[in-house]
Copies of this chain bind each other. A is one copy, B any other.
Amino acid sequence: MQPVEALTVALADRSYDIHIGQGLLREHACFADVMTSDTVVVVSNDVVAPLYLDTLQVALSDYRMITHLLPDGERHKTPASMLAVIDTALAGGAARDTTFIALGGGVVGDMTGFAAACFMRGVPYVQVPTTLLAQVDSSVGGKTGVNHAAGKNLIGAFHQPVRVVIGLDSLATLPPREFAAGLAEVIKYGAIVDREFFDWLEENMPRLVAREPAALRHAVRRSCELKAAVVAADEREQGKRALLNFGLTFGHAIEAGSGYTQWVHGEAVAIGMKLAAQMSGIDVDDCRRLESLLSAAGLPTETDAHRADDLLAAMGHDKKVLAGRIRLVLLESLGSAYVTADYDSARLRQVLEGMAVA
């Protein structure tokens, strides 16, 4: 077995470990100690399953496996898809002590987690994220859910996994666009809470883009550490956790505005981070550094013309709205973010309108 790094997400009786390393998807030891019965429900999708399901079956050879494959893509992140997971689980004889396993990217993880949250009022689940985005962000922290026509993730639950198993080898074969989308989240951590990590990313972005294993390992590990610390401090997003939404409120609106087809999630967040930085009024050089780093990662920082009104309306349906006022995550400086509802609405409109300028 390759060396495994383990981090803990400290949440009292809901604490769990994140295992990070090469070849982990075939390791019994990464799963065995969190199983509570001889049955597992493995949820994946029709793109990821052909690549990794056989490997995972090596690790899970001692268990009866009920498999459910979701169609690939954000537009299938619906209540109906989640209910189909539950149909399969029940038809296969899953019970209250069955463990669910999410094998795939963020969409698979969010839906599997939500299905596990609702199945018989909650069963344990393991996250096995195969995309960079899911490895550094969505698999850690227990946010699960599905989309509604009115906006993303409007239906869901906080339900922590019992384990996260990150196999770094899957990053080697990730399509470039998906890989870059993950880097957006990595850059986000630097921008909001760790200036030193931001500096490291500027220096090492070429190594990351070349997918050098040592660089990837550091980037994934540091991102997970930062996320774990934020989640441990504020599990249900009453305070600090909201910082993780940097770029997200803008990003969700951009995704909704393009019908979830033009941009993958991380790309929309990249554009959103640039907008949020502009809105922050930080030093122009720091704004440019963020934009350059995003570009170096292969990410967009601009999008086609959206009407500012549509974006503002879409932002009004974001969960981050409290008492009718859009709250934004803004930067004090690179490496330090804050949440506020106290900003100039005229400036917000200006920033959104300015985005259309190529």
- Contact-residue size bin, chain A (C-beta under 8 Å from the other chain): 35 or more
Given A37-B323, A90-B150, A317-B90, residue A157 in contact with residue B122 (CB < 8 A): yes
Whether A73 sits at the interface, judged by CB under 8 Å, is: no
Whether A47 sits at the interface, judged by CB under 8 Å, is: no
Report the minimal beta-carbon distance from A64 to chain B, rounded to whole angstroms: 11
Inter-chain contact A96/B158, CB cutoff 8 Å: no
Given A37-B323, A86-B148, residue A154 in contact with residue B97 (CB < 8 A): no
Q: Is the interface of A mostly helix, strand, loop or mixed?
A: mixed
Whether A145 sits at the interface, judged by CB under 8 Å, is: yes
Which chain B residue lies CB-closest to A145? Answer: B121
Given A119-B155, A155-B118, A157-B121, residue A323 in contact with residue B95 (CB < 8 A): yes
Whether A117 sits at the interface, judged by CB under 8 Å, is: yes
A45 to B171, CA, bound (A): 51
Inter-chain contact A319/B154, CB cutoff 8 Å: no
Given A90-B150, A148-B86, residue A157 in contact with residue B322 (CB < 8 A): no
| Shortest 8 CB-CB contacts between residues of A and residues of B | A90-B150, A120-B319, A121-B156, A118-B155, A95-B321, A96-B319, A121-B158, A79-B83
Footprint of B on A, CB under 8 Å?
37-38, 79, 83, 86-87, 90-91, 95-97, 117-122, 143-145, 148, 150-151, 153-158, 236, 317, 319-324
